[in-house]
Amino acid sequence: MRYTPSTILVTGGAGFIGSNFVHRMLRADHTVRIVNLDLLTYAGTLDNLTDLPAPERHVFVHGDICDSSLVAQLFDEHRIDTVVHFAAQSHVVRSIADPGEFVRTNVNGTFTLLEAARSAWLGAKGVKPPEVARTRRFHHISTDEVFGTLTLEDPPFAETTPYAPNSPYSASKAASDHPVRAYFHTYGMPVVTTNCSNNYGPRQHAEKFIPTVIRNCLEGKCVPVYGDGQNIRDWLYVDDHCRAIHRVLTHGELGQTYNIGGRNEWRNNDVVSLICGLLDERLPGQAPHERLVEFVTDRAGHDRRYAIDTKKITGTLDWGPAEDLESGIRKTIDWQLGLTQ
C-alpha cells in the first residue's frame, strides 16, 4: 500500500542530506508541504535552502529538536502527518572531543520527536487508532556505522547485522535507533528506519572527507589522508540516498529497517586519486593535484571498512543507485566549481 505524505516535518533540513531531500521532495511531489526544523549549528545553513523549487510550500523554523514544547507546537499548528528525521550530530572527530552533545542531540532529540508524534497521533493513552498506519509515518535516518567495522573478508552489513558501534557518534546513533523500534512494538508507532553508507555530493559540510579533498586541491593546499589511506567506505551519492528515502517513506513496510548503499567500495587513497585525476582534466594548469596529498596521524577508533548489502531495498522496493563514484564525483566537482545548483 502506497503512503502519501501531506505535511512533512523534516528535522535537520538545512544540513547536507536533509536539504537535498527538501529540494527533491518539493520537485517530486507538487502537493506536499514541508516544515523544516533546524538549529543551524555548524552543519546547517540557510544557504542550502536557496532556489527551492516551491518555496511557498516550505516553512523554515529555527529551533532545537530537544525543545519538547516547540516540537509539540509544530505538530499541532501544522498538523504534521509525517516525520523524516535527519537531525543529528554526525562528525566523528567532533564526537571524540564532545560526546555529551552527541548523546543530547541524537538520543534525547529522537526521544523528544517520538514522544511528540505519540501524543499527536496516538492520543494521551498511546492507543493506536486504526487509521494511523495508513495516514502517519515516522522515518528515522540512521547510519551503517552502528554496525561497527568489517575486515576485507567479511560480508557487507545486512539489516540483521548485530550493532557494534566504535565511536561516540556511532554509539549515539545506535542508541537512537532502539527507541524507534521499541515505539513500533510497544505503541504501534508507524515507523520505518534506514541505515545508509557514506554520503557525498552537493551541499556537504566542508569538514567532510570528499569536500576537503576537492577544496584543498582547488586552493593548492595539503590534502590530508588519515593513517595509511587504506580505510574502505561504500560511497552513496546524496540524490540516490534521497530517492531511496522517498521510496521507503512511500512504499516501505512499517516496523522494517532498510539498508541503503551505493555499491561503491573504495579505499580512501583511491578516492583521492580519482578526485585528483578528474581535477587534472578540468584544471591542467594546476596538475598534478596528487602532489598535495599528505598522510596524517590516524584518528582514534577509525573503522577499517564499511560495506552495505542492499538486497532488501533492491528486491522489495525496486531501488538502486543511479550514480557510480566517478559520475557522482564529477557532479560534485561541478557543484563545487559553481557550474550547477
Whether 42 is catalytic is no
Whether the Cβ atoms of residue 114 and residue 180 lie closer than 8 Å to each other: yes
Could you tell me the three cell numbers for 158?
A: 545486512
Task: Please pick, among 38, 64, 81, 144, the residue that the annotation labels catalytic.
Answer: 144
- Pair 70, 46: CB distance under 8 Å: no
Three-state secondary structure call for residue 9: strand
What's the rounded Cα separation, in Å, for the pair 103 and 108? Answer: 7
Q: Are strands 257-260 and 137-143 parallel, antiparallel or unpaired?
A: unpaired
| Residue 256, CB-side half-sphere exposure with 13 Å CA sphere | 15
If DSSP codes are grouped into helix, strand and coil, which group holds residue 198? strand
178 φ/ψ angles, rounded to the nearest 5 degrees: -65, -45
DSSP codes, 208-251:
SHHHHHHHHHHHT--EEEETTS--EEEEEEHHHHHHHHHHHHHH
Q: Which amino acid is at 51?
A: D
Closest by CA to 269, choosing from 242, 224, 229, is: 229
* Angle at the Cα of 29 from the Cα atoms of 144 and 255, rounded to 5 degrees: 40
**What is the β-pairing status of strands 257-260 and 293-296?**
unpaired
Tell me, yes or no, if 207 is annotated catalytic. Answer: no
Annotated catalytic residue within 38, 145, 309, 323: 145
Q: Contact at 8 Å (CB) between 253 and 183?
A: no
* Active-site entry in 169, 183, 200, 258: 169
Q: Is 76 a catalytic site residue? A: no
Active-site residue list: 144-145, 169
